[in-house]
Amino acid sequence: MTFQNLILEHAENGKVGVLTVNRPKSLNALNAETLDELLQALTRVAEQPEVRVLLITGGGDKAFIAGADIAAMQNMSALEARAFSEKGQRVMQAIGALAIPVIALVNGYALGGGCELALSCDWIVATDRAVFGQPEVNLGIPPGFGGTQRLARLVGRARALELVTTGRQIKADEALRIGLVNEVVAAAELMDVGLTMARTIAAKAPIAVRVAKQAVQRGLDLDLANGCVLETSLFAFAFGTDDRKEGMTAFLAKRPPEFNGR
């Protein structure tokens, strides 16, 4: 599959997908065509059982994704804006719905739709020159790709409201302090750090990783008691897999496990 605005590659013998939004001249801004390609790429990744982790980053050295394409939005009617928002929401939901862990590697500006895309990933690793923000109020609009919802769930209602209503941009160190990102690294180390994380995850039992992600994601929408019931069900499910047998056998035999994803 050939993309105009994206690059989809594989590493670690196909176990790690690397998806790059590649419009560096536009600071990787999200237009309708790029959103359509993202949906296609995510569908492709979901259909590749050998892929165990997905890394998402931006092309060039200035921006992860600087936001939605303002030039394309300028003359939109309210109905066209709704359709554009719905398209963006579908992309963010598709990222969150992937069964495998998805890590955002933020290599520069992650503003507006770019911040929203990073938020839809399971966690974020950023360079020390990354900048985050939801500056849509400066354009007379609120966030439209899930920013008001995911940001509040990650950093809390008050902090999210402050950032959304002031449009204030924050640097990587503050993003780390408030829990927006998991780790801050030097720019030259970003991909290596991401691949190291992905390699670690890819070496684990694939089904166990997937059900662990499912337990965390779905459990956050439940009260504690029902979340623990969900965890018990997924725990029991994993006991029926070949990977569980291999993992425990290897542990007792004091050898590395060889997981096959079954």
pLDDT along the chain (262 residues), means of 10: 91 94 93 96 95 96 90 92 96 96 97 97 97 96 96 96 97 97 97 96 95 95 95 95 94 93 88
59 with 170, same domain: the answer is yes
Whichever domain contains 224, its CATH number is 1.10.12.10
Long-range Cβ pairs for the range 71-79 (8 Å, 24+): 72/31, 72/32
51 with 116, same domain: the answer is yes
Residue 106 pairs in a beta bridge with: 126
Is 189 catalytic? The answer is no
Q: Which domain holds residue 24?
A: 6-202
Q: Is residue 98 part of a domain?
A: yes
| Contact status, residue 140 vs residue 166, Cβ threshold 8 Å | no
Query: Which position among 136, 231, 246, 258 bears the catalytic label?
Result: 136
Per-residue confidence (pLDDT) for residue 134, from 0 to 100: 97
Q: Is residue 153 part of a domain?
A: yes
Q: Is residue 186 part of a domain?
A: yes
196 with 145, same domain: the answer is yes
Is 116 catalytic? The answer is yes
Angle at CA of residue 159, ends 74 and 78, nearest 5° = 20
Residues 35-53: pLDDT tens digits? 999 999 999 999 999 999 9
DSSP-assigned states of every residue in 90-121: HHHHHHHH-SS-EEEEE-SEEETHHHHHHHHS
- Kindly report the pTM of this predicted structure: 0.93
192 with 219, same domain: the answer is no
Query: Which position among 50, 80, 116, 162 bears the catalytic label?
Result: 116
